Structure 1
Amino acid sequence: MAGDILTVVPLYQGPHISRIRLMAESPKKPASPLKPLVPSMTKLTTIETKRIMSVLDETIHKVELVTLLSYVTSNKEDLENVLGEDITKAVREHQDLCRVLLDHISYLQEEERRLQGEDFEEEPWLQDHRSSLELQKSRLSPLMQQVKESTKNILRLLLTNSQATRLFQTQALGISAGAQSLIDSLIELRGFLFEKLLTSPMEARDKAQFIQDITKRNMRNQEVIEGLENELAERMKTRAAEVEKENFVVRELKNHLHQVLKFSENSLLRTKQEAEKQQKTDFRASQARVAKIQQEMLQLQSQFHNLVNENWEAEQALRKKKYKVETEIENWIQKYDMEMGEKQEEYEELDSIHKEEKAQLAELRLRHNVLVEEFAQIREERERYAKKRMEDEQELLRMVRAATLIQAVWKGYLARSMLRSKKKKRGKGKAKDKKGKKGKGKGKKGAKGKK
């Protein structure tokens, strides 16, 4: 709704929506007497309350963007490369719609003011004019609906483009009083609603009781204030006596001032006489200036009459030219009628030829249908042959794959068997080497024992 109201408004520069907190801003050290008025919770806990606050924050954000549209329309050339083609095109269409709507409204207002000044209400032309105005008023609603839809479209594009949204909020240069008031009211409403959602039923009752206690305390304080006011009245009386003494001193000073005023009046008379002399000299100079201006006016009037005569002659020449052009137009119309008659005859001949060719086309279509049926039969036979050929190729491919798989398995088996035989031969050679080494060791031990 706020976006519909502020479709065309002046520029507004307000706080960014991201700066609005979702927590109550309470002082770090709240005063103890006001503790019942501060909610115990500082955050929203339920999903419903968070949804309510998010809806209100989104509304404030959208209203803030709508109030900045006038800046974009006035600086389209500077922001076209940054905003993109879609947003620029939507803003341009929105500006055209707003201009048409405002022009239409201003025209209707001027016509209504002019009709209110007319006294002849029974004139038929006046009634027809009023009925036409009512018809034009009925056409305003679809135009306003188009403006609303255009505003919604721009908001959708801006919300999907974060860079354009930031640009909107940083390039603002002016402030509108109406937009400022609306945004401030929405933010104030948000604060009241946020505090209301944070306050539980028990806290609400405690708050009401606290307000009642404050009211009673205020009444007692009022009684004390009345006593102090009575005391103040007595002291004011004593003060009045002192003021009377001071007034006597003031009267003496006034007498002295009166003498000073008499002296100033004499000096004022002298200055007044000098001013009158100066006024007379200025009056004579102004009369001479007026005479000179009157001479200039006579010269300008003569020039005006000369221009009127020249314009009259030019008008006569243009009238003759207009008459000549009208006669030429009539001749062209007659020539057009003759050519159109000839074209009509030619068209009728071509129409008869078209009908004959149409009959020939019907015969050719019958032949074409027969050929199509034959072609369909031939294509079915080709498809069956291609299908059978494909199946044969697939069967051959499976057989080739099976043969290659069998060969690969057989080659692997042969390779493994050859590896096993090689391993066995190597094992036997190592065993013989170990036995030879053991015999040599025993011979060395026997030689050592003999020594």
Structure 2
Amino acid sequence: MALNILSVAPLYQGPAIHGIRVRTEAPLTLAKPLTPLAPSKSKLTTIEAKRIMSVLDEAIYKVELVTLMSYVESHPEALEGILQEDIMSVMKEHMDLCQVLLENVDALQEEEMRLRQEEDAEERWYQDRHLSIQLHKANLQPLMQEVQDSSKNVLRVLICDPRATKLLQVQAPGRSAEAQHFLQSLTELRGYLFEKLLTNPMEMKEKAQFIQDITRRNKQNQELIDSLENEVTARLKNRDTEVEKENFVIQELKNHLHQVLKFSENSLLRTKQEAEKQQKVDFRASQARLAKIQQELLMLHSQYHNQVTENQEVEQALRKKKYKVETEIENWIQKYDTEMGEKQDEYEDLESIHKEEKLQLEELRQQHVVLVEEFAQIRTEREINSKKRMEAEREMLRMVRAATLIQAVWKGYLVRSMLKSKRKKKKRGKGKGKAKGKVRK
């Protein structure tokens, strides 16, 4: 119940938080917005907007200073010789008030916890305790107001002395997680407010339209996703049914396989029994065949001995025949050697004669070549002479024909010229006769 009224957490938790940017003079920069929703302006133009932003920047700056006070509370000796005495006194008063407020809040929380644990006690005692807690809460309000006034006084003193502010910011290494989260929230609020102030009504309308389009697309995508999920579930159901069918078929096949195995075992047993029976029958038959084969073997042994004796006699006869044939062959070889020696001598004589005749043949061939060349030369000369004679005869014949033709043409020309002269004379005689007749008339 006391937490609903006031919840004060420690504003400093040691040097675990580093790298937190402390505001000094420059304002915080905004993160770059998305391109479709970015405002057309980058700076504030109206005085009202600038005043709003300056008020928010000042509030963030004061919050940054207030969150550094926990370091002064936990390390008062770090700033004793650095800050002025009036500033230190104001800060000590503020820290004392904060300490008193925290003690009262802790006591109130303990009483509420004890009251929750003793809810089964007497009703009158419970009402008295509840009334005392309410009075305690009412007494906290003036103390909270004093803490607020003290905070304002500390901020006023620090803002009036920039040097002390910088020293405090340099000495304090960081803030608690709650304070840092609060500052980040204020920074985000500043960015949102700055973007709102930069955006005109037309851009707001476009942004709303953009958000509606995104929402509509998201809705369409969600509908598509739902339809796909339904299709997937249907496919999964179909797959389950198919799997059940396949499992049923597999079970049927297993049963059939089991029956086949049983049948194969029975058939194997029958086959084994039949094979044993057949083996016994075959063994008996083989024993009978073995006895018969042994008898045949004895008979063959006796035949073998008889055949060996006969073959030995034949071999002796063949050996004698072979010796006789070998002696005859040796005689024939000796006779062949003597005859071949004679033939060799005769061959050598013939070879010498052949060489002499070959030399003579070579000489005759050389003479023949010379004669052939002479004959070829004579024949070429004869051919040339015959060609010349034939050409002369042809030329003579051509000249005779030409002379005959010329004479015939000349004779024709003479005859034609004589005929022309005779005709002219006749024409002249006729003309004179006609003239005389006319004169006579």
Taking structure 2 as the reference length, what is the TM-score of the superposition?
0.44
For the pair shown, the structure with the greater C-alpha radius of gyration is: 2
Taking structure 1 as the reference length, what is the TM-score of the superposition?
0.43
